[in-house]
């Protein structure tokens, strides 16, 4: 961050952006995990549609893996 060249280093607000991105990241991860919970919940039309296919168990496993990965993110 900052500037290139012979001039003095002047922070360009990188720390401020990092804090905003961190807060946004926490919020977005929470929203993503909530969405995954909704689509796999009992009564979910999407879950019912997948349950009627040969790949329903694999779909649930992939969704669970995605949720686990989202839960492992450290911000």
The answer to whether residue 7 sits within a structural domain is no
Domain count, the chain: 1
Task: Indicate the Cα dihedral angle 7, 12, 14, 16, nearest 10°.
Answer: 140
The answer to whether residue 6 sits within a structural domain is no
- Place 20 in a pLDDT band, splitting at 50, 70 and 90: confident
**7 to each of 10, 11, 15, 73, how far by Cα in Å?**
9, 12, 20, 37
The answer to whether residue 52 sits within a structural domain is yes
pLDDT for the residue 35: 98
Structural domain harbouring 23:
14-72
- pTM for the predicted model, two decimal places: 0.71
The answer to whether residue 38 sits within a structural domain is yes
- Place 33 in a pLDDT band, splitting at 50, 70 and 90: very high
pLDDT for the residue 16: 73
Task: Say which range, 8-12, 18-22, 45-49, 71-75, has the weakest mean pLDDT.
Answer: 8-12
pLDDT for the residue 5: 59
């Amino acid at each position: 961050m900052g500037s290139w060249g012979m001039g003095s280093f002047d922070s360009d607000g990188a720390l401020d952006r990092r804090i905003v991105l961190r807060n946004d990241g926490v919020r977005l991860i929470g929203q993503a995990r909530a969405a995954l919970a909704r689509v796999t919940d009992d009564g979910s039309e999407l879950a019912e549609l997948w349950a009627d296919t040969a790949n329903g168990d694999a779909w649930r496993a992939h969704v669970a893996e995605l949720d686990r990965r989202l839960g492992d993110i450290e911000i």
